[in-house]
Chains A and B, each alone.
Chain A
Amino acid sequence: MLIKLTGGTVYDPASGIDGQQQDIYVQDGRIIDAPKDGRPVDQEYDLLGKVVMSGAIDMHTHIGGGKGNIARTLLPEDHRQDPVHRTPITRSGNGHAMPSTYVAGYRYAEMGYTACFEPAVLPINARQAHMEMGDTPIVDKGGYVMLGSDDFLLRMMTANKDQKAINDYVAWTLNAAKGIGIKVVNAGGISAFKFNQRKLDLDEQNSHYAVTPRQILQTLARAVQELGITHPLHVHGCNLGVPGNLETTLNTIEGIDGLPMHLTHIQFHSYGKEGDFKFSSGAAQIAEAINSNPNITADVGQILFGQTVTASGDNMRQHANHRFASPNKWVCMDIECDAGCGVVPFKYKDQNFVNALQWAIGLEIFLLVEDPWRIFLTTDHPNGAPFTSYPHLIRLLMDRSFRNDMLATIHPEAQKMTTLASIEREYTLNEIAIMTRAGAARIIGLKDRGALSAGNFADITVYTENADRQTMFTKPDYVFKDGELIVKDGEVVKVTWGTTHIVKPDYDLSIEKDLKPYFDKYLTMKLGNFKISDDEISEDGRGSLTAHPLRGAA
């Protein structure tokens, strides 16, 4: 079937197109050049006056994996606030802070998103992550596999194994757990907490393995680089949420020696300790460090006010923060000598000084980082806020007077501690398209996505131009996924199943000579049973795998 999208105003930064009126043709799920053979168009959409972008990509959102399900189970009262009815084509479920998987897929699609990436896939819990993502309809998905507090890596580092051996282990794990990148959370810190260390700074040794977070980050960043994985090492730094952690973050940027590194939810790592409350904004220094280090990318992890739940692998920091739990209940787990998790509900309040300043810090970082290709729009769903708040966040970035109106309502002392009012920048539609589409596809290494040029998959979102950007981005007119119309006027009209994006770096099979006896002796699963097979993703007929080439590969 030949589909023609006629006369829309196209924002396609990957192709250098910034608001030009042009037609787009779609056939067999892909975008094609205008046919020259006079074939008839089967379906035409008149998009005059509409804004056309590729489908949005959330490069960091917790939509799959055990911690999300703990969060769901923990918060029945939250679900009761947001029941979602079954329709003839969609399943019922629940929404808000940690929606059920079906609802997450529908709501992402209804906002114009066509791909979402789970950033904390514990290797031992990867099956669950893939099963949850497998029950998340419409959107494509993928995961970053979490290393850095796993016993095997730490003992390799203690034993001074060479980088080649570590690369083999990293590649083996990535293949076994079926991920597209490598994530590290509080490097070594989740492990340290199990030995009763309650904090771990960048150059502090894990008491058992005698390695430091800096060494772990360097080792894993090198592995990612040398294996040719496109997505840079995805780093949740040390000292999350600690006043003064700005210094740690700056040291982390400096300490990576120019290797590519993505700093996630950087808002939570950008705090000074100035002022009467010993808590201040480090946004300017962080933004300056990002601006001057082209190897660094970041997503913000914006907080927005209201009830949410934080769900993180960083149980060292989550345990420290449990006293702020609202409602007052929380879960921490140590997991399989591999990782951990902590789930702590939070209610961010605009009249709480710290929360209000956190809100301002996130926005300052967005607005002070100059290059939209290196900063990404996230709330670290659900940690900073549920993903459904993205249209509101987009308006805050695009509309200075709205932003300042909001600023005027927050805790007065926080207003005094932020330079937000003086920042004049307003994001353009093209910049929004970069940070939520083109840049995201590029940094994840997605081929054929995030752009509207011929040959790409036809993931396309169409909005009605509206000066109120929150309204505009809340309810797209049309969303196409792989060439099929799946959302019309902000509502799902067809349910499809996206693919799972992975990479398959090569490794020396002899790594299993070390791993097999290790599994037999210490772990609770046989090596062969640990590895996730392709058919586990695809056997129910909905899922599929898309392996992306490595950097430098043809």
Chain B
Amino acid sequence: MTEITEVPSPFCGIGTDDLSIRVDGTTLKVTANGCSVNKPAFEQAIADTSPRIAGQAASLEAAASKAAELLRDTNQPVIGGCATDVNGMRALLALADKSGAVVDNLNFSNARRNLLALQDSGWMNTTLAELKNRCDLLLVVGTDLEAFAPRFFEKYLWNEESMFLDSTANREIIYLGKAPSGNASTSPTGQKARVLPCADADLPNVTAVLSALVKGHIVHAQNVAGIAIADLQAIADKLKAAHYGVVLWGAAALAFEQAELTVQTLCSIVKDLNQLGTRCSGFPLGGKEGDQTANQVCGWTTGYPARVNFARGYPEYDPYLYDTQALLNNGEADALVWVQTFNSSALPPKTDLPTIVIGRSGMKFENEPDVFIPVGTPGIDHAGHAYRLDNVVAIRLKKLRDSGLPSTAEVLTAIEQAL
């Protein structure tokens, strides 16, 4: 039995790396700094260790060879999920390039709201350590932050000391839209977050008014979506008076039509504040199940984030057309490879097409795939790299145990070589 400290997590997105984990054979127990996201993800027991072909146990070599056979004569295979580490993504992209596949990250339709805003007009963003040490005003828009990352406030807002603030307890937290689900946003001295609630679908109007107020435009209405204009004016004034305001949103939470325009409005508010002489930064959430990792590796390998098609022999990017579910629904795909090494309950979409699953041990299928290869989890069964939510910092994942499970990269490389 050993105790491993300073363990980084690929699960929470915020790059927590202070976990202590007791390793007893292949059993893991989080003994310090666990949370409701990380603890179950680390402690999940290994189930399957052997690949299966049509439900029958098979060697890795046979399973890889069968997978290659299924992909060999396809016209438009789809590699979905893309939940893996950097080396897993490298191997996935090599296989996609060779087989002319679509590559689609499972969180892309959420991340697309950010990517469309970025690719249309850009943004000014910040990273966790800046937020931890500088942020004196946090505006959370349409997102339940503590549900996303239970330790966010404890680690990055209510840290005992910061470089540039007299007291972190004086930080002001304002929620616009969704109310927080718990009390993590209440300061250590008992100061509760200010909440200006509205329905998700009203956020486009509310943020548009806030944007107008930041620019100094006159708004004649008295309220918008139940929020008094005077209250929004107060937020605009606070943003202008802050030393380093941060506007935070989770694209996944903005689940309404054309939410990318709301993201763009938030980004323009940040840019306008900087233009008007105040420092302010945006902070989009993300980074779960390898989504930032997928976009980063796909970014440097192809020039595009992870929704690309290699069918024509070179990568083409279309944030709508190359959606796994759409391709399956429209009958445009002829095979599915599902890669998900973090979450055994994230199963492939239902399809009658030949299906190959490279998944975390323990996946339970309603319909057994043609090939299932259980793989090790990065940061548990093998070392690796994963990007955290702020998209700049790659964390070095540790190997905690000897499970004998292969890595995603090993499996995908074996399939590629058998192709």
Contacts and interface: CB of A to CB of B under 8 A. Distances in A.
Contact of B394 (A80, A92, A98, A131): A131
A209 to B, nearest CB: 11
Contacts of A425: none
Nearest to A90: B97
B161 A66 contact: no
Contacts of B296: 69, 128
Contact of A331 (B125, B244, B277, B314): B125
A196 B279 contact: yes
Contact of B163 (A333, A337, A532): A337
Most buried by A among B126, B300, B395: B300
Contacts of B301: 91, 93, 100-102, 135
A79 B301 CA distance: 12
A519 to B, nearest CB: 10
A336 B395 contact: no
A348 to B, nearest CB: 19
A151 interface: yes
Interface string B292-310: 0001110111111100001
Nearest to A78: B303
Contacts of B115: 73
Contact of B17 (A132, A529, A532, A535): A529
Nearest to B295: A73
Interface string B107-138: 00000000100111111111111101110000
B90 interface: yes
A79 B395 CA distance: 29
A536 interface: yes
B128 A336 contact: yes
A522 B161 CA distance: 7
A275 interface: no
Given A69-B300, A521-B161, A84 B126 contact: no
Contacts of A536: 385, 396
A91 B304 CA distance: 15
Interface in B279-299: 279, 281, 295-297, 299
Contact of B127 (A128, A325, A335): A335
B11 to A, nearest CB: 16
Contacts of B126: 333-335
A528 interface: yes
A524 interface: yes
Interface string A303-336: 0000000000000000100000100111111111
B314 A329 contact: no
A552 interface: no
B278 interface: yes
A99 B300 CA distance: 8
A424 B15 CA distance: 58
B30 to A, nearest CB: 16
A83 B312 CA distance: 10
A334 B119 contact: no
A124 B303 contact: no
Contacts of A526: 6, 17-18
B124 A336 contact: no
B122 A329 contact: yes
A99 B244 CA distance: 34
A72 B124 contact: no
- Which bracket fits the contact residues of A? 35 or more
Given A84-B314, A328-B121, A194 B244 contact: yes
Most buried by A among B316, B317, B394: B394
A83 B315 contact: yes
Given A93-B302, A101-B301, A522-B161, A528 B6 contact: yes
Contacts of B310: 86, 92
Given A84-B314, A526-B18, A334 B130 contact: yes
B317 A91 contact: no
Nearest to A197: B279
A74 B127 contact: no
A196 B303 CA distance: 33
B314 A540 contact: no
B75 interface: no
Given A128-B394, A334-B126, A522-B161, A92 B314 contact: yes
Given A73-B295, A76-B119, A522-B133, A92 B313 contact: yes
A125 interface: yes
A72 B97 contact: no
A333 B392 contact: yes
B300 A529 contact: no
A208 B314 contact: no
A216 to B, nearest CB: 18
B383 interface: yes
A68 interface: yes
Contacts of B127: 333-336, 524
A542 to B, nearest CB: 10
B393 interface: yes
Interface residues of B, number: 68
B127 to A, nearest CB: 5
A92 B315 contact: yes
Contacts of B380: none
Nearest to A345: B122
B243 interface: yes
A335 B122 contact: no
A331 B124 contact: yes
Contact of B243 (A131, A196, A332, A521): A196
Contacts of A338: 129
A543 to B, nearest CB: 12
B395 A529 contact: yes
A124 B297 CA distance: 18
Interface in B149-191: 155-156, 159-164
A338 B155 CA distance: 19
Contacts of B2: none
A42 interface: no
Contacts of A37: none
Contacts of B313: 85-86, 92
Given A132-B300, A196-B243, A93 B128 contact: no
Given A331-B122, A335-B127, A524-B129, A79 B304 contact: yes
Contacts of A328: 121
A93 B314 contact: yes
A100 B303 contact: yes
A525 interface: yes
B402 to A, nearest CB: 17
A514 interface: no
B86 interface: yes
Interface in B2-26: 6, 8, 15, 17-18
B396 A73 contact: no
Contacts of A30: none
Contacts of A91: 94, 97, 301
Nearest to A124: B393
A423 interface: no
Contacts of A208: 164
B341 interface: no
B223 interface: no
A98 B295 CA distance: 16
Interface string A190-229: 0001111000000000001000000000000000000000
Interface of A: 66, 68-69, 72-76, 79-80, 83-86, 91-94, 98-102, 124-125, 127-128, 131-132, 135, 151, 193-196, 208, 319, 325, 328-338, 343, 521-526, 528-529, 532-533, 535-536, 539-540
Considering the complex of A and B, which 3 residue pairs feature the smallest CB-CB distances, nearest first? A94-B303, A329-B122, A336-B129
Given A335-B126, A529-B396, 7 more contacts: A93-B303, A128-B296, A329-B121, A333-B125, A521-B159, A522-B129, A522-B161
9 contacts: A72-B303, A73-B115, A80-B316, A94-B303, A99-B303, A101-B300, A128-B392, A131-B385, A333-B281
Interface of B: 6, 8, 15, 17-18, 86-87, 90, 94, 97-98, 115, 118-130, 132-134, 155-156, 159-164, 243-244, 274, 277-279, 281, 295-297, 299-305, 310, 313-317, 383, 385, 391-396, 409
